[in-house]
Chains A and B, each alone.
Chain A
């Protein structure tokens, strides 16, 4: 199975399931709305009745914006304080969503009602994915150590009086950090897919298998990941381009930007589904199909036996 065929499959599967995109967008906006309400109230409380609002609508006067952030930090602080809590809650909810997405993707299309399939999958895999998150420390720790070690070496080699070298080192640090972050993220994607397709409770084993799979198919998995990443970049650039064409000095403009942002966020949901579908395809091209079926009915004990046999 080539990277491009997995890519095509991922895109096709994601496109064929608009409900998936919609539900991901809905969750996103629901959580974000909490902060909208808090921010909106804080904003109105601080300068709601002021005439400067007219200028803010037209020009985005930095004097007022900076003044708001310093003078009236109190009301705004509530929005900024609430943000990490909302993000954390969303992160936890996301574990549920991951199960829903995968369950929809592995279920034969049209056989089960979408809602039952999505929420059923979310509930079924939620605990396992949570455990996977905890077990993922065994991947994060060595990767973190590697990152710290490279940083230490660069710090020793770095000469502050050679500015270009220092800038290059910053770029290397940043690129390496991003690469490792996404590498671990990709491993976890495959681990989740293995758990879902096998309906396995042996989470740690799935993680090990995912690491092995990524190492064995390094070029393919990475190629697919970054091809989809480029698709995401294209979506983001298109969004930024369109957004920059619209002025936000009128109600219509503000609404238009809001709607475009929502389309973009939905697009991110679509991309997420495409990732999982493409990776599912990549994995299924290697996994013997009977393994999945056998393990489905065995549960934990069966999986242990299988591990021993292997």
Chain B
């Protein structure tokens, strides 16, 4: 082992772009040997972990994630929460997954296996074994490192939620005993939940993977060694620094291709590796283009992509349960053989999952506790990238007569996100899986687009770059993002973030009433004066003549109302018949506000938030009202609807 490490060190030192000064605080150093047995869908692994106590606290026990145990039976927390369903894919009762730690010991020290115990800190579920703890014979002091040797076996489930197999395709993610994160002297190590992803410390991974010779392999990092074994297998060694996880995949039907990606400003040089299933080769060019776009967009807007490789994995047919998932320097996309080009799911998924490499990979967000820092920021980035490269109004669906942009798609989800959950909440605490998704992805993404319009595009770009630069290879919290936004923009944004991040309510302002009434001649009894009703006919006629002669006056009334709970300062644009415009401001606090104008001209329209800055507003249509509506728009859609009905009736009468 030592000889191998020495040789590996020499090899790495000779390969430019692989070793450099550490970018992260390297808390963990994993050295894993794993063998895949395709017939039994099992893994045999040996892991050496060197862990640094980077806190000010002595540590007496070590918790580990055993994520694969989420698929061990139908009583685990993951299975109970998900009902065995993930993103529409169903667990297979005949193919459970699990991981068993055969032994764990301190290197050159005592066996810790007898102290191994399972824990369920989130829900106390006794059937959940996704966390194990071992007790140390002596505390690890701050600044000290300790080395552990772990022997484990894992059985992969039939894939329905990220990890597993289908046929001869294997997606091996969250597969090895992974230590928790010691944060502020407290272990942050959550169970595997249906609605949460992951969190881990940065470090170095060296992984030797042994598979049958015919299998094509892709993994986190760069392949630094490959050798053939006498038993018909091959072993491949992968190495990567400054990442917090390691995933790999293998399938004999992958077609591997590589392409260099370079960018001058900022300086980026990386190798794109595509593992596309044979059945989907016709879609390969879509992946290539989208990944190039992702690399360009994220590098230019947030910071240079820092790793030497990026691997795109196209799951095998039937393996879409593994699709659309991010791991450091590797992600899974997904497509089908005949997917029309007008449906841009492969492009969107590629850009989105690559983007996670920034907001989960490089910026180490805690997806258990504040998933929006990854998913929400990434959805915001994805909308911008998709709109830039594919058109704001057609980024998702682009067929003649039907075009839908990414923003519209995400906004629709925001409208449907309910009033149950805020954006910031522990991932497993949302009322439902859909509430988690709609809030953490879509609402958070639209929230950031709204912030962009509040701050201005340039300022927002600075906020995002500063946040990335400040928090890359670290673990930020929500307040760190808020602070970065406030400091960079120089504005107090508590009014914004307090509402949108922590309250489950909605934003909806509306023009609820609009009228323009001609002011009547005085009628009735007024003290000390005769009135029109008491006048003689002649006088009345004379009065009528006077009315005709003078210009009429109008009492123009605009009522704007706050229909949602969130309070946002508003601007109101009022337009009159002579073309003049009046801009009003309103702090938006009261439930309604009335504006009255007595003028010789009629009011024609009023619009709250006329520049559409607040994209979180769930009803754009009620933001404006006019006294001169366009009847042909309604007719256009009603006649269009009638046309469809007529076609249907023709079909019925066949």
Q: Hey, which bits of chain A sit against chain B, CB under 8 A?
A: 24, 28-29, 31-33, 35-36, 39-40, 43-44, 46-54, 56-57, 59, 62-64, 66-68, 70-72, 79, 83, 86-87, 90-91, 94, 97, 160-164, 166-167, 185, 244, 248, 250-251, 254, 257-258, 261, 265, 268-269, 272
User: Cα distance A86–B622 when bound, in Å?
Assistant: 31
Contacting residue for A64 out of B279, B621, B630, B634, CB 8 A = B621
Nearest residue, chain A, Cβ from B166: A161
Would B415 and A70 count as touching, CB distance under 8 A? yes
Would B618 and A71 count as touching, CB distance under 8 A? yes
Residues on A with C-beta less than 8 A from B624 are: 50-52
User: Cα distance A43–B636 when bound, in Å?
Assistant: 11
Beyond A36-B645, A53-B629, A94-B652, 13 additional pairs, beta carbon < 8 A: A28-B653, A35-B641, A36-B641, A44-B634, A51-B624, A53-B634, A57-B632, A71-B618, A161-B317, A248-B636, A250-B632, A258-B643, A265-B650
Q: List 7 A-B contacts (CB under 8 A).
A: A50-B622, A52-B620, A53-B629, A56-B637, A86-B645, A161-B167, A163-B317
User: Cα distance A214–B605 when bound, in Å?
Assistant: 66
CB-CB under 8 A for A54 and B618, given A39-B642, A160-B318: no
Q: Distance (Å) between the CB of A31 and the closest chain B CB? A: 6
Q: Distance (Å) between the CB of B156 and the closest chain A CB? A: 16
Interface residues in B389-408 by Cβ distance below 8 A to A read: 393, 400, 403-405, 407-408
User: Cα distance A182–B652 when bound, in Å?
Assistant: 12
Would B621 and A43 count as touching, CB distance under 8 A? no
Residues on A with C-beta less than 8 A from B415 are: 66-67, 70-71
Q: Distance (Å) between the CB of B450 and the closest chain A CB? A: 14
Interface centre among B318, B393, B626, B638 (most CB of A within 10 A): B638
Q: Is B646 an interface residue (CB 8 A)?
A: yes
Residues on B with C-beta less than 8 A from A269 are: 650
Would A66 and B412 count as touching, CB distance under 8 A? yes
User: Cα distance A86–B644 when bound, in Å?
Assistant: 13
User: Cα distance A31–B637 when bound, in Å?
Assistant: 18
Task: Tally B residues with Cβ within 8 Å of A.
Answer: 59
Would B621 and A46 count as touching, CB distance under 8 A? yes
Residues on B with C-beta less than 8 A from A50 are: 621-626, 629
CB-CB under 8 A for A71 and B645, given A28-B650, A161-B166, A272-B654: no
Contacting residue for B638 out of A39, A51, A91, A163, CB 8 A = A39
Q: Distance (Å) between the CB of B402 and the closest chain A CB? A: 9
Residues on B with C-beta less than 8 A from A160 are: 166, 317-318
Contacting residue for A54 out of B412, B633, B641, B648, CB 8 A = B633
Nearest residue, chain B, Cβ from A47: B621
CB-CB under 8 A for A261 and B646, given A35-B641, A53-B630, A244-B400: yes
Residues on B with C-beta less than 8 A from A49 are: 514, 625-627, 629
Interface centre among B416, B627, B633, B650 (most CB of A within 10 A): B633
Residues on B with C-beta less than 8 A from A87 are: 645, 648-649, 652
Contacting residue for B408 out of A43, A66, A162, CB 8 A = A66
User: Cα distance A36–B636 when bound, in Å?
Assistant: 11
Residues on A with C-beta less than 8 A from B627 are: 49
Q: Is B262 an interface residue (CB 8 A)?
A: no
User: Cα distance A56–B631 when bound, in Å?
Assistant: 11
Interface centre among A36, A56, A63, A258 (most CB of B within 10 A): A63
User: Cα distance A265–B407 when bound, in Å?
Assistant: 37
Would B403 and A62 count as touching, CB distance under 8 A? yes
Residues on B with C-beta less than 8 A from A53 are: 629-630, 633-634
User: Cα distance A105–B639 when bound, in Å?
Assistant: 33
CB-CB under 8 A for A51 and B642, given A62-B408, A164-B279, A272-B653: no
User: Cα distance A101–B358 when bound, in Å?
Assistant: 68
Interface residues in B300-357 by Cβ distance below 8 A to A read: 316-319, 336-338
Would B653 and A40 count as touching, CB distance under 8 A? no
User: Cα distance A254–B648 when bound, in Å?
Assistant: 20
Would A32 and B642 count as touching, CB distance under 8 A? yes
Nearest residue, chain B, Cβ from A95: B653
Nearest residue, chain A, Cβ from B606: A51
Would A32 and B649 count as touching, CB distance under 8 A? yes
Would A70 and B636 count as touching, CB distance under 8 A? no
Contacting residue for A43 out of B632, B637, B652, CB 8 A = B637
Would B646 and A54 count as touching, CB distance under 8 A? no
Contact mask B391-434 → A, CB, 8 Å, 1/0? Answer: 00100000010011101100110011000000000000000000
Residues on A with C-beta less than 8 A from B626 are: 49-51
User: Cα distance A127–B650 when bound, in Å?
Assistant: 22
Q: Distance (Å) between the CB of A54 and the closest chain B CB? A: 5
Nearest residue, chain A, Cβ from B393: A62
Residues on A with C-beta less than 8 A from B167 are: 161
Q: Distance (Å) between the CB of B92 and the closest chain A CB? A: 12
Would B629 and A163 count as touching, CB distance under 8 A? no
Nearest residue, chain A, Cβ from B405: A62
Residues on A with C-beta less than 8 A from B514 are: 49
Q: Distance (Å) between the CB of B427 and the closest chain A CB? A: 25
Q: Is B366 an interface residue (CB 8 A)?
A: no
Contacting residue for A251 out of B318, B400, B605, B632, CB 8 A = B632
Q: Distance (Å) between the CB of B654 and the closest chain A CB? A: 6
Q: Distance (Å) between the CB of B143 and the closest chain A CB? A: 51
Contacting residue for B641 out of A46, A59, A79, CB 8 A = A79
Interface residues in B267-322 by Cβ distance below 8 A to A read: 279-280, 316-319
Residues on B with C-beta less than 8 A from A261 are: 639, 643, 646
Nearest residue, chain A, Cβ from B632: A251
Residues on A with C-beta less than 8 A from B605 are: 51
User: Cα distance A164–B279 when bound, in Å?
Assistant: 8
Q: Is B48 an interface residue (CB 8 A)?
A: no
Q: Distance (Å) between the CB of B453 and the closest chain A CB? A: 15
Q: Is B551 an interface residue (CB 8 A)?
A: no
User: Cα distance A54–B628 when bound, in Å?
Assistant: 11
Nearest residue, chain B, Cβ from A167: B338
Contacting residue for B645 out of A83, A164, A167, CB 8 A = A83
CB-CB under 8 A for A161 and B636, given A32-B649, A50-B624, A63-B620: no
Would A94 and B642 count as touching, CB distance under 8 A? no
Residues on B with C-beta less than 8 A from A71 are: 415, 618-619, 621
User: Cα distance A90–B645 when bound, in Å?
Assistant: 11
User: Cα distance A254–B633 when bound, in Å?
Assistant: 9
Would B618 and A268 count as touching, CB distance under 8 A? no
CB-CB under 8 A for A51 and B625, given A57-B636, A66-B412: yes
Residues on B with C-beta less than 8 A from A68 are: 621
Nearest residue, chain A, Cβ from B630: A53
